[in-house]
Chain A
Amino acid sequence: MNLFAILRAVGSNRLALFGTAAGTLLILVALLAPVLTPFAFESQNLPLRLRPPSAAHWFGTDELGRDILSRVVYGTRISMSVGFSVVLVSSLVGLLAGSLAGYYGGWFDEALMRIVDILLAFPGILLAIALVAFWGPGLEKLIFALVSVGWVGYARLVRGQILKVRELDFVRAARSLGASNARIILRHLIPNIIQPILVQASIGMAGAILAEASLSFLGLGVPPPLPSWGAMLNDGRSHLFDAPYLVLFPGAATMLAVLAFNFLGDGLREVLNPRLQSGSRIAR
């Protein structure tokens, strides 16, 4: 299936279409943040603290008098940039490790699988929490921690797919025609396993957004004053009684972003592999 066919198939699937539309909207909001925001995300106005939504501040103000709309919009930048970086680097590392292990087998495959077993003994985002806890907070450290955990899923997926594809006739044909190992992996194997990786990447994007927000919620993610939806939710917790809008808007934004990429992943899975309409690999 070429790119054009994938795009056409996405257009015919309601889940994928919603996911694509919402994802595109979020990316546009992230790119156009300076144009869309009425205030600077860090500018404080203490006399106007904890004001409910109004004509001047559509989403209200937080306890330092900062405009919540501007912070939610700039938070999209953090979410999208963390999501894309984590997915890009994790999938590249996973693709490299998984295809080498699946194609060559041997000691590298054995070692990789043992590392995967150990990393998977830590449930969910616990390992990322642990890494950031010892490394300390910071955007780059956060991305690195999420990549350290995230590549495992891609590596396992790619290895499994390569094992399945490498014995097929067209690969044998390429080999008997004298194609080098590198050429077989890059030109013949990887293009044939790209579809499940696309699905994994989309669901991984939702997972990375969720993980960033979770870590920031715990105070282990993006350091202030950078606006992260998770950190905003954490700040708003102490005002649940008097200013619930503090958690409402960043909460809704997080949910929309996670939902968009989960929908896209689920839709892509249906479109690319119509036999697999059940089960769930969705990120949470």
Chain B
Amino acid sequence: MRSFLLRRLLLNVPVLLGVVTLVFSFIHLVPGDPVQIMLGEGAQAADVEQLRRKLGLDQPVLVQYGRYIWDLLHGRLGTSFRFGEPVSQIILSRYPATLQLATLSLCFGASLAIPVGVLAAARPGSWIDRLLTSATLLGISLPNFVSGPAAIILFSVVLGWLPVSGRGGPAHFVLPAVTLGASLSAILTRMVRAGMIEELQEEYVKTARSKGLTETTVLLKHALRNSLIPVVTVLGLQFGTLLAGAIITETIFAWPGVGRLTVQAINSRDYPLVQGCLLAIAFTYVTVNLLTDLAYGLLDPRIKYR
């Protein structure tokens, strides 16, 4: 187990280095002078030079790259141009809100998908299966920038049940978490259904049925447990989609997380902050995938860590 963990961690090093290199190179993609663009057309030459020195952009590219890596290893991501504070501090202050939203969406998605998937798989091909499967395709195709405003119109404007935006009490979580988790839930439902249909054809299910167990016990205690294993992998991969989706969902609901911060940073051309946000999201995604790999082995005893 320890050697597996070590090898898996080491495998991530080149990927993370590649991610950092890519994010570092982004500032050199800016057409024209990035410092001039950050400060605007009317900026004084002296201010431009001062910011260029501060950002280290007056140095040769290799020196800039070396410094970037060195600073990153020491937890420094530069200073935000807009907020005048260290990027790492700003991201850390927003990070919990995003993690909270993504986790809640994941919980919502899974808690809806498992019963619905089981229900659909219990009688494959029946009208209820066809209805639920079509509903999942609708759910997958519904973009969150459409479902978010639609949910606001219905639940906040017409019915007045839930707050429009912001982060406060539990009621504030409902619309953003449901909006973000809806398509995940649809994808998971399809996974659970497919997995259950496959498991229900296995020999052990026949044994369980011939022992006289009730259909509910066969479905929930035998087939479901085994069909959930691949779902865990999808959960890990989909967590990344949730993080990317959070950029839009947080913007719609004025949710003070890293996603909205990314958009604000892009709009104010705060390049160090944009780079910091990108790194934070990519690193989270890589870490979640690592944890998923580990969880996979714990859930399925047939998988041995070597």
Q: Which residues of A are at the interface with B, using a C-beta cutoff of 8 A?
A: 15, 114-115, 117-118, 121-126, 129-131, 133-136, 206, 210, 213-214, 217-220, 230, 233-234, 236-237, 240-241, 244, 247, 251-252, 254-255, 258-259, 262-263, 266, 277-280, 282, 284
Give 10 nearest A-B pairs by CB, closest first: A123-B240, A278-B194, A124-B244, A118-B18, A251-B146, A259-B141, A133-B266, A258-B141, A134-B29, A280-B190
**B14 CB contacts on chain A under 8 angstroms:** 114, 117
| B141 and A217 form a contact (CB under 8 A) | no
| A278 and B193 form a contact (CB under 8 A) | yes
**B146 CB contacts on chain A under 8 angstroms:** 233, 247, 251-252, 254-255
**B266 CB contacts on chain A under 8 angstroms:** 129, 133, 218, 220
Size bin of chain B's contact surface: 35 or more
Task: Please give me the residue from chain B that is nearest to A129 by CB atom.
Answer: B247
| B15 and A130 form a contact (CB under 8 A) | no
A255–B193 Cα gap in the complex (Å)? 24
Judge if B43 is at the interface, Cβ distance under 8 Å. no
**B30 CB contacts on chain A under 8 angstroms:** 134-136
| B29 and A282 form a contact (CB under 8 A) | no
A122–B241 Cα gap in the complex (Å)? 9
| B252 and A237 form a contact (CB under 8 A) | yes
Task: Please give me the residue from chain B that is nearest to A257 by CB atom.
Answer: B141
Q: Mark B144-162, 1 if CB is under 8 A from A, else 0.
A: 0110011011000100000
| B157 and A134 form a contact (CB under 8 A) | no
**A15 CB contacts on chain B under 8 angstroms:** 137
| A134 and B26 form a contact (CB under 8 A) | yes
**A136 CB contacts on chain B under 8 angstroms:** 30-31
Judge if B191 is at the interface, Cβ distance under 8 Å. yes
CB of A235 to closest CB in B, whole Å: 11
Judge if B27 is at the interface, Cβ distance under 8 Å. yes
* Chain B contacts with A in 194-241, Cβ cutoff 8 A: 194-195, 197-198, 239-241
Partner of A121, one of B18, B143, B190: B18
Which secondary structure dominates chain A's binding surface?
A: helix
* Chain B contacts with A in 8-27, Cβ cutoff 8 A: 14-16, 18-19, 22-23, 26-27
Judge if B251 is at the interface, Cβ distance under 8 Å. yes
A233–B247 Cα gap in the complex (Å)? 16
A258–B147 Cα gap in the complex (Å)? 14
Task: Please give me the residue from chain A that is nearest to B284 by CB atom.
Answer: A123
**A284 CB contacts on chain B under 8 angstroms:** 140-141, 143, 183, 187, 241
| A134 and B140 form a contact (CB under 8 A) | no
Partner of B247, one of A114, A206, A218, A278: A218
A244–B142 Cα gap in the complex (Å)? 17
Judge if B295 is at the interface, Cβ distance under 8 Å. no
Q: What are 12 sample pairs from A and B whose C-beta atoms fall under 8 A apart?
A: A121-B16, A126-B282, A130-B26, A133-B266, A210-B143, A214-B143, A234-B145, A240-B157, A244-B153, A259-B138, A277-B194, A282-B141
